[in-house]
Amino acid sequence: MNTDGRAQAFADALKRFEESGDPDELVACFAESPELVRSESNRSTPQGVTEFWSSYRNQFSQVRTDFTTIQEGGDLAVLEWRTRGRLDAGRSIEYDGVSVLTFDDEAKVRRFATYFDTAAFLPAQE
């Protein structure tokens, strides 16, 4: 099986989702019932993939993620990124993070874990 490009395909689907708000292409990257881990809870979430990504996107009025590193080998991929945008409350936001993808034999994401400094989402202190 050709494993090249799975992580890039995921990154491209995420960027299109951020632009359009339509999760279908991104959701299609995932296996059935994958494990989804977010840094703010540091544990697997019971949500479905569509709800997971819609919850992420709904925080922003505008959002764009730029990937600085995409490395893939075996069933793992690591993506380093910077996200910039505007929260629904109107405040600009910028933060860096890393996502780890684990793929199944069908090149679908069976585990997605993302880690970033959640302090970027806290209200600014005056």
* Average pLDDT of every residue of the chain: 89
- Answer yes or no: is pLDDT of 92 > 60: yes
Residue 59: φ, ψ to 5°:
-75, -20
- What pTM was estimated for this model as a whole? 0.88
The domains found in the chain, sorted by start residue, are 6-117 (3.10.450.50)
| Res. 12 pLDDT band, cuts 50 70 90 | very high
Let me know: does 88 contact 58? Beta carbons within 8 Å: yes
Q: Residue 44 — pLDDT band, cuts 50, 70, 90?
A: low
pLDDT at residue number 77 = 98
Which residues are within 8 A (CB) of 16 and not within 5 positions of it... i.e. 6 or more apart? 22, 25, 26
Question: Within its chain, how far is the Cα of 45 from the centroid?
Answer: 14
Count the neighbouring beta carbons within 10 Å of the beta carbon of residue 28: 11
Average pLDDT over residues 67-79: 96
